[in-house]
Amino acid sequence: MRRPAALLFAVTFCLQILKGSAGSLLKSLEVPQFTFVSGTVTLRCVYDMGSSKLYSLKWYHNNTEFYRYVPTERNGPVNIGPTNIFTLHEVSRDDRHVTLSLSRVTAAATGAYRCEVLAEHPSFRTESMQSYMTVLSHSLSPPLIKRVREIYEPSDQITVGCQPQKMEKDEPMPKILWLIDGKQAPPAQQEKYGRSLDGSYTGVSLNIPGQQVVDAGGSVLVECRLSLGEFEERASKTIRVRMEHKSLASAPNAGSAVAVLGTSALLAALLLSAAL
């Protein structure tokens, strides 16, 4: 879970919408990009009426109103509409924001969430912002790392794959990112595989020349990160490459002997005999 990132995304996303409408009453809208069936999400709408007063604040889902706040309404300023796609609670409210919690979210809760504010007389100015949320049927599982061999040779072009454990039809593909020893792998070393005509793909491969692993000391830790909005899952594996002994490679005839024998005890024996 990476809440700050999600929040930042939501805020920037909404600020972009705001720019388009040249608004000034609505300050931000926070709607998570993804959630899971039966999950709980927090929605937040921040406003600033400036010199005018708030007449009403409404929330809509797919253009159906599900929440209304009318401060001047003496008997029950808050009106929560009946809905069977989620359970709604007002978390907090003041003269700057309304925060709602949706729980027991169903697949039908996927869609556009819009917050609309209406200023009082005389301006009756209306502003709204919206953001899209997708409800996924399953929570994210750690990715599968495929095709990792026990050991590689320095001359090998190492290719390993990473993909989601399972993909539901019509659900968004998580982002897949490879890291080598904690650093993001260059884009040139990452490649989508299993592409189909509709633009979908199965996973992302990581390509590492065996020599790169040799240069890193004979092994690297590769990590695959799967992310969907604020959700992230990881898996990692160690890639090992057989190391040649430099000291032996320069000794006469030792190179071929090493290739054939290859065990450390024999290497030590060879080293000894070379020294004598």
Ligand X SMILES: *[C@@H]1O[C@H](CO)[C@@H](O)[C@H](O)[C@H]1NC(C)=O
Is 68 or 225 the residue whose CB approaches ligand X more closely?
Answer: 68
- CB of 112: closest distance to ligand X in angstroms? 6
Q: Which of residues 79-138 bind ligand X (CB under 6 A)?
A: 85, 108, 110-111
Closest CA to 106 of 128, 79, 132, 84: 84
Is 39 or 111 the residue whose CB approaches ligand X more closely?
Answer: 111
Tell me the residue type at 251: A
16, 24, 62, 141: which one contacts ligand X (CB under 6 A)? 62
How is residue 137 written in tokens?
């049927």
Please identify the residue of the shown chain whose CB is closest to the bound ligand X: 111
Is 24 or 62 the residue whose CB approaches ligand X more closely?
Answer: 62
Residue 226 found at the interface with ligand X (CB under 6 A): no
**Burial grade of 133 (CB within 10 A; 0-12, 13-18, 19 or more):** buried
- CB of 169: closest distance to ligand X in angstroms? 14
Residue 28 found at the interface with ligand X (CB under 6 A): no
Is 109 or 176 the residue whose CB approaches ligand X more closely?
Answer: 109
Return the SS3 of 127. strand
Is 66 or 152 the residue whose CB approaches ligand X more closely?
Answer: 66
3-class SS shares of the chain: helix, strand, coil, % to 5: 20, 40, 40
- CB of 157: closest distance to ligand X in angstroms? 43
Is 85 or 220 the residue whose CB approaches ligand X more closely?
Answer: 85
- Strand 54-61 to 78-80 pairing: unpaired
**Residue indicated by tokens 């359970």:** 87
Q: Which residues contact 35 (CB under 8 A, 6 or more apart)?
A: 41, 105, 109, 133, 134, 135, 136
Task: Note whether 246 and 258 are within 8 A (CB).
Answer: no
Please count the residues of this chain forming the interface with ligand X, following the rule CB under 6 A. Answer: 5
What is the binding site for ligand X (CB under 6 A)? 62, 85, 108, 110-111
